Structure 1
Amino acid sequence: MAALDVQDFLEGWKLVVKHLENVEDADLILQQVVFGFWRIWKCRNDLVFKGVTTEPRVAVELWHRHVEEFRTASDTSEWGTGALGSDRWDRVRGGRRVGSGEGGVRHGDGIVVGERREEVGLLLWQKPLFGTLKLNCDAAWKKATGEGGVGWVLRDFAGLPLLARGMGGERFGDAIMAEAEAIRRGLESVVGSEVWAGSTCLVVESDSKGLINMLNKETTVDVKLEVYIQDIWRMTCVFPVVRFCFTPRQCNRDAHSIAAYVVKHGGRFGWDELGPEFLFNILAEDANVMVRL
């Protein structure tokens, strides 16, 4: 509030609200301001009463997550993109678009919500919301030989792995075909298991932005990928809600590590819960667990 040249918080808050009166998406900006203040207060209390110092990057990540969780819980059909790069969602009901976002598609009786995730400098894997599962998929491909492998990891809201799988020794025409196969195989693996029962939403993440845009119908589907994408869309009917999201490579290390492993060793691999050492440490770091192998 010092920047506003006021001593009283309420007076400063009124100035902020007045300043944003004619600003587009003012409500969204105010949401972020409120949660930002709350996060600062929490960090201050942790330091004063517990002697715990919160790293700035952690505080900002929590700030962003709380805004996202609030908007999800509010069940509002349209959110704009605010100062923190929060996601704009499309919700499609009965085949009719509601709101002004992009990328939402509906298949069968289930709602498939497309999300365009903007990179905001927080290169950390983010846990999904309660009741949501997150499937990270990636591929490794050798241009010289066409050989490739795919890997995927399914985790719950606590960041705990429910399954991790990979297939090597595959052949692909190019890298994006391998990326599409990773998502297709990952969804097949989830559908064929019972671990997703009771979940209200599945988030599918890939670091192939072009592929995610096609899956969200933001760009025209490449002819060579039609078979892959049709299979992927067909499998989304099993889940109440599916979101296809782009994620930076740094946030997709687990799936990439599996893909690189299966390319090197060939064959099919599957792990439940802990997994091998090379994967365990990445999963532990993503889940903010201090244990390492």
Structure 2
Amino acid sequence: MADDENAPVEEVKCPKCECVAGAPAWMTTFADLVTLLLTFFVLLLSMANMEEVKFAEASASIRSAFGAHSLPAPSKFSIPIIPSPPVSKFTPIQNEMASKVYKRIQSQLKSDNIPEDVELIKKEDDTIILRINDAILFKKGSSVVSPTAYPTLRNLADIIRPLPMRLRIEGHTDSTPVSKRKIGNWNLATDRAVSIMRFFKRGNLLPLDRMSAIGYGADRPIAPNTNETNMSKNRRVDFVLRTNNTLGLGTKSAKAGELPL
């Protein structure tokens, strides 16, 4: 019994285990978390200071730490704009109609009691103009139609009435002031156009929905106002005929400055 108590105790040794070299895996994750938290607080501190220089330096440091690279600036390019072809305001049918009307009016002017001073003009589109000098229609400086012009206007109305075209009466003057008011020439041109329009209306010579009147004064000369011959050409009344609706005729579609019946 005494021998058993005095016997040496054998030391129990654990079996040797093969440990992997390096830090544990959890420490790597923890280190990443600490680094991210540190970066986050540094970013907050930089933004709190509101100093652009330090903020830019901190941003550059963060981008460098994470291996970020600045994106290249987008290339600038422009898409070529191809202008659309101009849209014609009149159709070939309207142009052909205007040509036939022009020839018809031309023959009527020769046979009817129309002064030779009446000029017939055809524009490139569907516009036909009957141009009359103001001396045939009015006395100097007056907007009242002269009685001697009544036959001429009636014959013009007879020519225009059967035509499938709209009429705009345009009054024009030269550059000589007719009054002390700056708009005196404009008023005279407008009053003359309206007087002719009223003449057609009162005589029931033309339908009301086909006419309008406008005055341009000296704003649209056909010749330089340098001598009396040219100034006489500019003092005129134009009877503009068109087959489409671009004149803005009628009481509902008259343009600003025009005076529909």
With normalisation by structure 1, the TM-score equals 0.25
Bigger proportion of residues as strand:
1
Q: Which has the larger radius of gyration?
A: 2
